[in-house]
Amino acid sequence: MNRTVKLVLDIVMGAVIPILILNNLNEQLGQVTTYVIAGLVPVAWVFIDLLFITKRFNFITSYVGASAIVRGVLTFWFVDGIQFAFKDTAGFFLTAFIFGGSMIVGKPIMYYFLVQALGPNTPEQEKSLRELLHETKVYRSLVNGTIIVLIVNIVTGVVNFFLNLEIVVAAFGTTEFNQQVAQVNAITRIALTIPEFIGFGIAFVFIYRAMFHYLPKEDGKDQLESDFWDLLKLRETQKTAADL
């Protein structure tokens, strides 16, 4: 599927449709049923994507799937007020726990995101990539990248919490509650993804700069003009020749 189409579908299924449901189906379905359906639509979309569209089971999809399961379970925790604000921020808590925990155990999670994004196809590529990612500057960039994403997640999580606390003030099970949830979702589900994308982007820029510091250049080419795997193979060839 085209990436642009996929992004549009993610926004529509993850934000637009749930907001429309919360605003328009309260009388037809009842307030609680409307709330549950709106909460489960994004979860269902994630699993449809994983099982029938993407059809890839790896670290990233497992992370996305786990987050979806948490959101799905929490849909059935019927609360309002400060408890709802905490509930709606649970996804940020999960991300902070995973990213922060990876730092504590000395295995920055950006390492796994990067490996999945690059997608080595052979054992040789996996070995070469693993050695590159353990170079001092690269490993440091993985740590710093993980910290960047963690900080952005904490900040956006705090913003999400207080937006919910400020906007969603009605009692659960009322039309007003659902409409207020739709209002806050219109802000958080779209606007707060922007700093998250920026955070990941900055992290990957630092990591790629560190990786290319250890990669050679092909004759007559700038590094960015060369295929990454070709440069990594050339690096291994040069290392082997130097050891002889």
Domain range summary for the chain, segments of one domain joined by +:
59-216+225-239
Residue 105's φ and ψ, nearest 5 degrees, are -85, 0
What is the predicted pLDDT for the residue at 243? 73
pLDDT in tens, 185-233: 999 988 999 999 999 999 999 999 999 999 999 988 888 889 999 999 9
What is the predicted pLDDT for the residue at 212? 96
Taking the C-alpha atoms of residue 83 and residue 164, their distance in angstroms, rounded to an integer, is 10
Kindly report the pTM of this predicted structure: 0.90
Taking the C-alpha atoms of residue 165 and residue 181, their distance in angstroms, rounded to an integer, is 11
Mean pLDDT calculated for residue range 168-184: 98
What is the predicted pLDDT for the residue at 244? 66
Taking the C-alpha atoms of residue 152 and residue 98, their distance in angstroms, rounded to an integer, is 14
- CB-based contacts of 191: which residues, under 8 Å, 6+ apart? none
Of residues 86 and 52, more confidently modeled: 86
